Amino acid sequence: MKNYLKLVNFEVNRFFKLYLILIGLTMLSQLIGAGIISQTYMKNAKQLMAENQLSMNQYVEQYGTFSFDRFTDSEWFLLPIFFCIAMLMIYVFFIWYRDWFGKNTFIYRLFMLPTERIAIYFAKLTTIMLLVLGLIALQILLILMEKQIVNKIIPIDLQSNFSIYASSTLNMWRWLYPTSFTEFILVYALGLLFVAVIFTAILIERSYGLKGIFYAIFYGLLSLGVFFAPILLVNVYTNYFYPLEIFLMVLVTSMIVLGSAIWIANHLLKYKIRV
Residues binding other proteins (CB under 8 A): 3, 6, 10, 14, 102-106, 108-109, 111-117, 207, 270-275
Distance CA 216, CA 220 (A): 6
* Among 128, 129, 134, 130, CA closest to 94: 128
Distance CA 130, CA 137 (A): 10
Least gap, CB of 107 to other proteins (angstroms): 8
At residue 271's C-alpha, the angle toward residues 268 and 275, to 5°, is: 80
- State how far the alpha carbon of 266 is from the alpha carbons of 170, 196, 216, 261, in Å: 39, 12, 15, 9
Amino acid type, 211: K
- Which of 224/275 has CB closer to other proteins? 275
Run of H or E residues at 121: helix 118-153
Least gap, CB of 103 to other proteins (angstroms): 5
Distance CA 39, CA 150 (A): 9
- Which of 6/70 has CB closer to other proteins? 6
- Which of 107/143 has CB closer to other proteins? 107
Least gap, CB of 262 to other proteins (angstroms): 17
Q: Are 76 and 34 in contact (CB under 8 A)?
A: yes
Distance CA 3, CA 120 (A): 9
Its sign, for the CA torsion 229, 82, 145, 39, is: negative
- Give the DSSP letter string of 186-202: HHHHHHHHHHHHHHHHH
- Which of 242/271 has CB closer to other proteins? 271
Q: Are 35 and 149 in contact (CB under 8 A)?
A: yes
- Which of 108/175 has CB closer to other proteins? 108
Least gap, CB of 269 to other proteins (angstroms): 10
Least gap, CB of 149 to other proteins (angstroms): 37
- Which of 102/225 has CB closer to other proteins? 102
- Which of 4/241 has CB closer to other proteins? 4
